[in-house]
Amino acid sequence: MAEPLFEKVAIIGIGLIGSSIARGLRRGGLSSTIVIADRDEHARERAAALGLGDLVLADSGEAAQGADLVIVCTPVGVCGTVAAEVGPHLKPGAILSDVGSVKGAIIRSMGPHVASSVHFVPAHPIAGTEDSGPDAGFAELFDGRWTILTPGPDADEAAVEAVRALWEGLGAKVDVMTPEHHDLVFAIVSHVPHLIAYNIVGTAADLEDVTQSEVIKYSASGFRDFTRIAASDPTMWRDVFLNNRDAVLQMLGRFVEDLTALQRAIRWGEGDKLFELFTRTRAIRRDIIEQGQDTAAPDFGRRGSTKGS
């Protein structure tokens, strides 16, 4: 059996992503020791019962002591607070990383708490489900999915390669980009779609001439997909929108412009414009399937599927 990549890995926050990382570390033998920290007593109890870590603690600073790698798996809004807690306990040469789907804000909030002797390599695994908590995780969550690394220009190459190796060991494909480009890309492929899903489900629930029972009873597969996305963790997505507001507002403005053009085409019966758009978007769907980011199987309930964040 190959030597583990890390002697000790500390996971701060044991929700869906954190628990999936823990399971993946076990599966791949990537760490000799796994330490878990979470403020929530119930989460700690479940993590211990599931055997996710060799040690389960309430204090993140204590968990980080002596760790070769610390991965912050908390909502974006508290990453800075967690970095302040673990920062003084990180040994020289340790690597600090995260899993947040916003990178610019996380770097600004976590960076000041990272000593010059510690390597900071932010990351974003593009995988998830609408479920949350320690029981929701599974080792296969990252298989075949992308993880984006956004190291700073002065980041240690060996540390970046170590984090790359970790995610590849967890089954992911890895790419590297700047934090600014990351936030712009994911504003349109993830954040705005979630905002649209939250809004359309809320609109349907508020319609006075359509009862909630009818919305549920007659939901077509398209609306069901919106409700699946809109069931995502509210704390996490609140923090995403507040911490990536510039990129989200930029992409939302473009979306509103395009939606207005679509509204005009429908009003004036411009079928050629509608057909052109629908043909173009259908091709994008085929490309997504061909690249293995989804399946063409007619699984209208989406059972067992995963989605990016």
Cα 294 from Cα 309, distance rounded (Å): 14
> pLDDT tens across 137-153, in order?
999 999 999 999 999 99
pLDDT in tens, 1-19: 578 999 999 999 999 999 9
**pLDDT recorded at residue 231:** 82
Mean per-residue pLDDT for 237-264? 92
Q: Are 10 and 69 in contact (CB under 8 A)?
A: yes
Q: Is the pLDDT at 305 greater than 60, yes or no?
A: no
Lowest-confidence segment of 116-120, 201-205, 298-302 by average pLDDT = 298-302
The model carries a pTM of 0.84
Q: What is the pLDDT of residues 226-242, one digit of tens each?
A: 888 888 888 888 988 99
Q: Is 273 strand, coil or helix? A: helix
The whole-number average pLDDT for the span 107-116 is 95
Which pairs from 34-37 meet CB under 8 Å and 24+ separation?
34/8, 34/9, 35/8, 35/9, 35/10, 35/11, 35/63, 35/67, 36/10, 36/11, 36/63, 37/10, 37/11, 37/12, 37/13, 37/62, 37/63, 37/64
Q: Which domains does the chain have, with CATH numbers?
A: 6-177 (3.40.50.720), 181-290 (1.10.3660.10)
